[in-house]
Amino acid sequence: MKILSQASIPTDYGDFKVIAFGDHEDEYSPHLALVSTKTNMDKPVLVRIHSECLTGDTFGSHRCECGEQLSASLERIGAEGGILIYLRQEGRGIGLVNKLKAYMLQDEGLDTVEANVHLGFDPDERHYDVAVQILEKLDVREITLLTNNPEKVEAIRESSVKLVHREPLIIPIRESNQGYMKTKEDYFGHLLDHQ
Ligand SMILES: Nc1nc2c(ncn2[C@@H]2O[C@H](COP(=O)(O)OP(=O)(O)OP(=O)(O)O)[C@@H](O)[C@H]2O)c(=O)[nH]1
Ligand SMILES: [Zn+2]
């Protein structure tokens, strides 16, 4: 995996450099790193590893809390410096078409894990080695990670990047995502502290 292209973008959250990573020059959906211009590489860098969720991130769906997590983390990173890694792992790695199928099954009573399994997938198909490679390519040695997901913590712990601190990224639960959040906590062991 290599850096394919990069450019500056001014945003509502501050100024960032957006860097596209992938193996092919004409990659259609590259993984991205949004590096705040305020980032100080000599200190532990504030990092959010975010998995793509088009419905939540772009359309503001309340079936999950992804959109709110994305804006909360960009706000923090834009203000304090840091890096948002945007992984193209839509639907926990099953893709958008299958995520919408999973939503249909959830509307019939299955939970998020059962729906994935019913479609022939693992409950969570994601891996975080790409995020580690991106941090290595950017020469990031020490990080504070914004997450509630123990698998992301584990992936960094097993890598050459030092995890100095984990910070929770808790968004208040809504009625429309209660089941989704409960499964995250009960099945995936997400650290949702309590609200
Ligand atoms: N298969 C499936 N994927 C979902 C569902 N709801 C949300 N997702 C996906 O779940 C992923 C959420 O990823 P992240 O925002 O990185 O969050 P996380 O793994 O919960 O970890 P943290 O937010 O860091 O605590 C995104 O890829 C969403 O598209 C669902 O019901 N089924
Ligand atoms: Zn989502």
Q: Which domains does the chain have, with CATH numbers?
A: 2-89+126-186 (3.40.50.10990)
d(CA 48, CA 176): 24
**Residue 189 predicted with pLDDT over 90:** no
Rounded percentage of the chain residues whose pLDDT exceeds 70: 98
Return the SS3 of 2: strand
Q: How is the chain split among helix, strand and coil, in percent rounded to 5?
A: 35, 25, 40
Q: Which residue has the higher pLDDT, 185 or 113?
A: 113
Mean pLDDT of 153-166: 97
Would you call 156 exposed, middle or buried from its count of C-beta atoms within 10 A (0-12, 13-18, 19+)? buried
Structure confidence by residue, pLDDT tens digits, 30-65: 999 999 999 999 999 999 999 999 999 999 999 999
CB 152 within 8 A of CB 163: no
Which pLDDT score is estimated for 190?
Answer: 79
Nearest-atom index, ligand 1, CA of 51: 16
Which pLDDT score is estimated for 194?
Answer: 55
Active site residue 141: no
| Centroid of ligand 1 to alpha carbon of 110 (angstroms) | 16
H or E segment to which residue 151 belongs: helix 150-157
pTM: 0.95
d(CA 174, CA 66): 12
| Centroid of ligand 2 to alpha carbon of 42 (angstroms) | 33
Active site residue 126: yes
CB of 48 shorter than 6 A to ligand 1? no
Structure confidence by residue, pLDDT tens digits, 163-173: 999 999 988 78
The closest ligand to the CA of 90 turns out to be 1
**Residue 122 predicted with pLDDT over 60:** yes
Would you call 141 exposed, middle or buried from its count of C-beta atoms within 10 A (0-12, 13-18, 19+)? middle
CB of 166 shorter than 6 A to ligand 1? no
ipTM: 0.95
